[in-house]
Structure 1
Amino acid sequence: MPYLKLHLQYFAADEKTEKATPKKREDTRKKGQVPKSQDVNTGFLLIMVFGGLYLFGGQIQEAMMAMYEKSFTEYIHWNVSEEHVFTLFLELTIEMAKALAPIMGVAMVAGIASNLLQVGIMFTGEPLKFDLKKMDPIKGAKKIFSARALVELVKSLLKITMISVITYAIIWVNKGQMMMTSQKSVEAALAFFARITILMGLASGLALLLLSVLDYLYQRYDHEKNIRMSKKDLKDEHKNMEGDPLIKSKIKEKQRQMSASRMMNEVPGADVVITNPTHYAIAIKYDEAKSDAPFVVAKGVDFVAQKIKEVAKANDIIMVENRPLARALYQHSEMDQPIDEQFYKAVAEVLAYVYRLEKKV
């Protein structure tokens, strides 16, 4: 039974039940693992591109007509040669680029904006690194039959259904005008089909954008689920952030040694050392230029107290035994800080006694 209980505790500690820490979130973000819906990009791109076609369609039509006219008024009379063919393709490519530049610019802005809205500014090359684990057929099979794959299948079917219904509805509503295009001019017929195409594109983009809200919420949920941490992970992370306890203890010991060494260097400049007499030692100095009140330059108990007294004796610093005052000063005073107001009278009496002794000497 004890073994079984220990075994269950081990698995409980390793279960991913805790929310990810800020450090874990930052680490996963550096790896390119962020909640993101591709449908947001697609929907936003469709709306912006078809909106751009609606705004710049007239300019594109004029540019295309100009190329068409020039082809049948100028290019048709050219001799077929290497130079003429090169010039023809170069000029047509430049004119085509000019005509489509606004749409391409809108598409680029839409792609960048939709990604910024979801993940913000992020640069990482981690997803591009070659990883043999990605080629593991067992993991690949698990992904195919996973809950995420099922969600993606349902989402794809829903998108196809929505776009099909929207497209069919628009065509059905405009079927009468569509049947009458044979009676219209070529320009009017093209304008009608262009208008219908833009309408279908905008409606499909809006539908995808609405669907992408649900998809983004699911992606966030799935991302949070995947980056959950176990209690063991939290302890390991805390240990890594805090450092090895052995190293920490060595650092603290080194800091104590440095502090003690600095204190010992200050003792020779003290005016008096107040002792317990065996357990406590507090070195006091009064310097009007530095502070209006006396301040502590060194303090310690036991071994450190003995060292303070040894340094004081070696430098002819007067030591005064006052057990209550020594204990109180140690507990309520800080290094290089003025003593508390409640000790002014007692310390003043000690300093006055020291100054009288020094005058006698």
Structure 2
Amino acid sequence: MKLLRLDLQFFAGEKTEKATPRKRQEVREKGQVAKSADLNTAVVLLLVFAVLLFSGSLYQETFFQLLRESFQQYTRTDITVDSVHLLFLRILEQIAWVVAPIFLVAIFGAFIANFLQVGFLFTTEPLQMKLSKLDPIQGFKRMLSLRSLVELLKSILKIAIVGFVTFFVLWTKLGQILTLTTKSLSTTLSSLASLAVQMGLYASAALLFLAFLDYLYQRFDFEKNIRMSKQEIKEEYKKTEGDPLIKSKIKQKQREMAMKRMMQEVPKADVVITNPTHYAVALKYEDGKMDAPIVIAKGVDYIALKMKQLAKEHDVVTVENRPLARALYSQTEIGDAIPEQFFKAVAEILAYVYRLKRKI
């Protein structure tokens, strides 16, 4: 039995269950989400090279204009503190106009890639300083963990595939590259820029494919890490729904309070109809205020006995009618008016009660 109990505790503590929505929300608030950094890099690179592809002529003209001004105008300027300062600001402005669109596209790509993976999330939890991260033993364990090995293999695979793609592009353009020595400087620079953009696009597409596979792996690893044991699910249920023992005590207390309120209504009844031992139903009727008599209390066995005792103590008439008591108990609730089919039987009983009270 002891070994069986230990086995049950082991299986209860084993994390085999999917994470609950509450657990997912908690880890999300801590910044723990399924996200691939490679996907962000691939999207940013793809968008940047796409911008260079469609606006390459504009960048080429801007670059050549900067070179022409540098060799034709700036070299003739007298070197002073003010002239160097103005020259630096002008060149910086021209470079900023070239770099700004690419920079904005990169920011947009990073935002889109993160939003598609994670959605909107703002948390400072990952930025908090934790001394446990400085533990050399834990750091050494992370270096030799299975996750580190997987990351190493991923890096090698990325380098190999991206290297193969860029080499393939260069190999297909080998003839064109060899003829660049016979062409002008502007043509050579344009050809090299076009070749670099093509290599970047093909490499980005290959990296995007690898990043998608990496995202699937990161999602699988994330789901695995946030799994819960059956005991953890029970503890969470207790926190959210409350301890079943406490809930049962609260319900019991509520029943006791409801019973107490019901018993306080028995002395106000006009008549208590009994079975005579198992059922009791207290009725009240006020002429002009009620369309029909209403049930103000009912009970079986011990409660029925208490109702009859209260009725006796407060001079409430008790009438024995077995079928009527059972029918009223089963077909009505406290506060309900009696059904129409019982009007005649209840009216006869109330008439008897009123005659009895007048005699008294």
Scaled by the length of structure 1, the TM-score of the pair is 0.84
Structure-2 residue corresponding to 1:349 = 345
Corresponding pairs, count:
357
Equivalent residue letter for 1:350: V
CA–CA separation in structure 1 for the residues paired with 2:245 and 2:111: 49
Q: How many angstroms does 1:302 deviate by?
A: 5.4
CA–CA separation in structure 2 for the residues paired with 1:162 and 1:91: 42
Q: How many angstroms does 1:175 deviate by?
A: 1.0
Alignment of structure 1 residues 13-32 onto 2, 5 Å = 13-32=12-31
CA–CA separation in structure 2 for the residues paired with 1:111 and 1:139: 31
Equivalent residue letter for 1:333: T
CA–CA separation in structure 2 for the residues paired with 1:176 and 1:194: 16
CA–CA separation in structure 2 for the residues paired with 1:220 and 1:188: 47
Native 8 Å contact 2:60 2:190 kept in 1: no
- The answer to whether residue 153 in structure 2 is matched with residue 154 in structure 1 is yes
Native 8 Å contact 1:318 1:354 kept in 2: no
Name the SS of the counterpart of 2:35 in structure 1.
coil
Identity in percent = 48
CA–CA separation in structure 2 for the residues paired with 1:86 and 1:306: 104
CA–CA separation in structure 2 for the residues paired with 1:25 and 1:205: 32
Structure 1 stretch 262-271 or stretch 245-254: which is displaced more? 262-271
Scaled by the length of structure 2, the TM-score of the pair is 0.84
CA–CA separation in structure 2 for the residues paired with 1:319 and 1:81: 118
Q: How many angstroms does 1:277 deviate by?
A: 4.4
Cα displacement string for residues 14-70 of structure 1 (whole angstroms, at most 9, x for unaligned residues): 112222222222222222222222221121111111001112222323333343344
Name the SS of the counterpart of 1:282 in structure 2.
strand
Alignment of structure 1 residues 333-348 onto 2, 5 Å = 333-337=332-336, 344-348=340-344
CA–CA separation in structure 2 for the residues paired with 1:265 and 1:70: 101
Native 8 Å contact 1:275 1:323 kept in 2: yes
Structure-2 residue corresponding to 1:213 = 212
Alignment of structure 1 residues 96-115 onto 2, 5 Å = 96-115=95-114
Structure-2 residue corresponding to 1:116 = 115
Structure-2 residue corresponding to 1:68 = 67
Alignment of structure 1 residues 310-325 onto 2, 5 Å = 319-325=318-324
Alignment of structure 1 residues 25-44 onto 2, 5 Å = 25-44=24-43
Native 8 Å contact 2:158 2:207 kept in 1: yes
Q: Which sections of structure 1, spanning at least 5 residues, go unmatched?
A: none
Native 8 Å contact 1:43 1:208 kept in 2: yes
* CA 1:347–1:86: 2 relative to 1, 3 Å: farther
Cα displacement string for residues 174-217 of structure 1 (whole angstroms, at most 9, x for unaligned residues): 11111111222222211111111111111111111111222222
Q: How many angstroms does 1:106 deviate by?
A: 1.4
CA–CA separation in structure 1 for the residues paired with 2:269 and 2:85: 95
Native 8 Å contact 2:273 2:280 kept in 1: yes
Native 8 Å contact 1:60 1:100 kept in 2: no
CA–CA separation in structure 1 for the residues paired with 2:337 and 2:289: 10
Native 8 Å contact 1:312 1:318 kept in 2: yes
Q: How many angstroms does 1:239 deviate by?
A: 2.0
Native 8 Å contact 2:12 2:230 kept in 1: yes
RMSD over aligned Cα atoms: 3.2
Native 8 Å contact 1:270 1:283 kept in 2: yes
CA–CA separation in structure 2 for the residues paired with 1:287 and 1:69: 107
Native 8 Å contact 1:274 1:326 kept in 2: yes
Q: Which sections of structure 2, spanning at least 5 residues, go unmatched?
A: none
